[in-house]
Structure 1
Amino acid sequence: MYDRASDQATNLGKSNLPPIQSFTTPAIFSPGIVVASGVGVSGTADNSTDNPLTDEVEGNDDLEYYGPLNFGSQAQTQTIDFDTGSADLWVPVNCTNCGNHEQFQASSSSTYQKTDQHFEVTYGIGQVSGTLASDTVSIGPFNVTNQYFGAVDSVSANFAQSPNDGLAGLAFSTISNSHQPTFFENLISQGFVQAPLFSVYLTRGQIQGSEICFGCIDVSKTSEDTVRWIPVVSQTYWTVAMEGVSVDGSRVSTQGLNGIIDTGTSFLYVPKDKADAIYALIPGSAPALDYGDGYYYYPCDSQAQISFVFNEQEFALDPRDFNLGLSYHDPSTCIGAIIGSGPDGIAIIGDSFLKSYVSVYDYSHNARVGFVKSITE
């Protein structure tokens, strides 16, 4: 998630994951009130489970997508933010400042094991801390045993106020603070998925309907037949080379920039000089300093066509997702979703971009990310 952007530049050079080779039966996790068909990469999945994934909608914006994950021998349900921009799993346990969040009742689980290892993750807007623990963590019929996670007993204020109870990091465990495999890596190694990939479909402005499929691509959520693949440059975050941003056919070069594909970030973040160059190609744009450094106004009636260039392939940004809403000072101007913030050499590609695509995160082929146009309206 973007909140960890300050850590991202230092983590890009960490070592690769060892290969995971145990793939047996496809598993599918298809959250959403609308039931997914569950089509895997090699046919229809024999087993599937349908669970709701909720979109936190505020005004024009889709802020966060979260859904259920079950913990312990009693399969207690926790509401989890599924985040490709981090790699640690945590839930509140005996938390003193977690507000009204549902807490995992560890004492009720016969399989819960607490370690003596401190657990802490620091994000850009706060942190969580507690103790490293392990237990069974499940989705539908698939029970991952000995899954390590943070049993968090203290959170900063922003987490206490968020709609999700905890967070599941789906980046590579090479960057995890716990130094343990992620939930998805354990789904692979324990034989629940045949294809070592997961895919994410995000709705636009709808509380229900989004989904994440473990071990499959749900073709009922795609409007094209072909996945366009981009190699991952470092098995840390889901990081791809980003060559440029195109505005009405004029390209701002971003050679040397790495884009982190991050479902846990709402908007789009690029270095300040790149944001300046992008908005310079949109007539009528200006810094929106009253919103904060790095934000920009642009004319709401602008028809600018913006695309991101990965692996020399252009991927369009939907104009609706570029528009974060009307500005306070002038009803003819809107706030743009591309924000000039973050470390040099890093761009964070969040949900404003991902809502237009089913994004696929594949551990095979030395790791790659794929995009296929979605049916999102």
Structure 2
Amino acid sequence: MHLAALAALNISLVSTMTNGIFNIPLAPVRPPTRHNLNGMMRHPRRLIPHHGIPAEVEITNFKNTQFYGPITIGSPGQVFNVIFDTGSADLWVPSIDCPKSNIAGQAHRKFNADASASHKGIGQSFNITYKSGSLDGNLSQDKVMVSYLAVKNQIFGEAMHQSEFFEEIEADGIMGMALEPASFFKQPSVFENMVEQNVVGAPVFAFYLAKPRTPSISERGSMLTLGGTNPELYSGDFTHVDVTKPGYWQFQLDNVKVKGHARGVCRGAKQALVDTGTTLTVGPIREIDDLNMRLGARRIQFAPGMWSFNCLELNSLPDVEFFTNGQVLTMTKDEYVMKVNGLCISAFSGRTYTKDQVPYWVLGTSFMKAYYTKFDLENKRIGFAKARHYSYI
């Protein structure tokens, strides 16, 4: 996502969206045969900690651009920080066998298969191309724990080679939280297996993304809730939208407007994907340019595709409204203005599409800071409730 522009600004913004229409890979993928986890676990043990009370994982907000938290893989568990990514469906971490020449792999914690008593090799390779980078490696199977929730026989990737982009990522790997139709591995996600193995009380997870007190530091306080929601982190009722594409957390977007303007910037109904693995709020470049100009932003000449605001005039900036199914979701200047290196940068970024691609929007973490966001697997819908923002949790 405008990597040259971001480099010019000396910031690292994440995009785990793949370079295509909703995670269609660029490189050939050799998927394994789907493993029958039910067959391996004919009588899964019922495990609902604290009588169904949801589990929570505290997430680190790294400089307002990356959100990650801890999991363990193997027996005994090896700890990794992963981006909990609703824009992809697969889990991967670096392998201890990655070559020393691969700087990205060597810069992070690496999984040691020989040190895990529950590890099983799969004998299949994988290749993933995200919008911002790519990787390849081998598939494995092992125990995965998130908070106190244990998943048996989870298929995951041991990355052997990662592109240069991942050198800038603080997390060791990525844990996809989209669903199996979006999987490169053609396997259930970690959360799907939590539901399948009855380790969560409800097929629901939710994100609270805290706003850091100082944009230049990393700070804890964001939260992933597994198996339900946490009412202390939101106020009011949820606005629900139906999922329109199996496997992805996306919904129909009818229009986007600057509050006070009668005409919207969307040219026809679009799809919007909610993605914790993307920092910015992304849309078709013509619509994004129109939106930024209406907000009074100016192009950054040394960073093509990026826009900035006058930091002395932020108080006058209007809200931006997203219309879907007769409902309105709002971003204020507190969400769409990013203060980086003395600049006030617009979180609205554009991308181009080929003639065979359907234009869509990606609502990244800049958008999600406004809302406590619920992902409901059973009812195939997404819920948005106003986030309660605390200076520190």
TM bracket (short chain)? 0.7 to 0.9
- Alignment partner for residue 249 of structure 1, among 260, 271, 280? 260
Aligned equivalent of 2:88: 86
Q: Once the 2 structures are TM-superposed, how far is the Cα of residue 115 of structure 1 from its aligned partner?
A: 1.6
Equivalent residues of 2:18, 2:129 under 8 A apart: no
Look up the match of 1:171. Answer: 178
Cα distance 1:336–1:146, how it changes in 2: closer, same or farther (>3 A)? same
Residues 94-105 of structure 1 mapped to structure 2, 5 A cutoff: 94=96, 95-96=98-99, 97=102, 98-105=105-112
Return the letter of the residue paired with 1:221: L
Q: Deviations over 1:158-210 (max 9, x none)?
A: 21331111110001110211111000000000001231110000101151111
Partner of 2:136: 129
Distance 1:195 1:215 in 2: 5
Corresponding residue for residue 291 of structure 1 = 303
Quote the Cα distance in structure 2 between the aligned partners of 1:10 and 1:125.
12
The answer to whether the aligner puts 1:119 opposite 2:126 as a matched pair is yes
For the 8 Å contact 1:23–1:195, the answer to whether it is kept is no
TM-superposed deviation, 1:25: 5.9
* Equivalent position SS for 2:108: coil
CA deviations on 1:311-345 (whole Å, 9 max, x unpaired) are 221111121221123787xx7xx321111114352
The answer as to whether partners of 1:130 and 1:150 remain within 8 angstroms in 2 is yes
Aligned pairs for 1:347-358 (under 5 A) are: 347-358=361-372
What SS does structure 2 have at the residue aligned with 1:174? helix
2:57–2:225 contact (8 Å) kept in structure 1 = no
CA distance in 2, matches of 1:216, 1:47: 8
Counterparts of 1:70 and 1:78, CA distance in 2? 6
Worse overlay, 314-323 or 3-12: 3-12
Cα gap change, 1:375 to 1:296, in 2 (>3 Å):
same
Q: 1:26 to 1:357 in 2, by over 3 A?
A: farther
Deviations 1:52-79 (A, max 9, x none): 311101xxxx101101111111011111
1:23/1:306 Cα in 2 relative to 1: closer, same or farther (>3 Å)? farther
* 8 Å CA contact 2:336, 2:347 repeated in 1: yes
Could you tell me which residue of structure 2 aligns to residue 76 of structure 1? Answer: 78
Q: CA deviation at 1:214?
A: 0.9
Q: Partner of 2:377 in structure 1? A: 363
The change in CA–CA distance for 1:84 and 1:254 in structure 2 (over 3 A counts) is farther
Counterpart in the other structure of 1:53 = 59
Secondary structure class of the residue paired with 2:207: strand
- Distance of 2:82 and 2:70 partners within structure 1: 6
The question of whether the paired residues in 1 share the 8 Å contact of 2:151 and 2:193 is answered with: yes
Counterpart in the other structure of 1:278: 291
Structure 2 stretches lacking a partner, 5+ long: 1-13, 26-37, 39-43, 214-218
Q: 2-side partners of 1:297 and 1:158: how far apart?
A: 24
In the TM superposition, what is the alpha-carbon distance from 1:304 to its structure 2 partner? 1.6
Q: Normalising by structure 1, report the TM-score.
A: 0.84
Alpha-carbon distance change, 23 to 305 in structure 1, aligned in 2, over 3 angstroms: farther
> What does residue 36 of structure 1 align with?
none
Q: Which residue of structure 1 lines up, in the alignment, with residue 222 of structure 2?
A: 210
Contact conserved, 1:242 with 1:254, CA < 8 A, in 2? no
Percentage of pairs with the same residue: 28
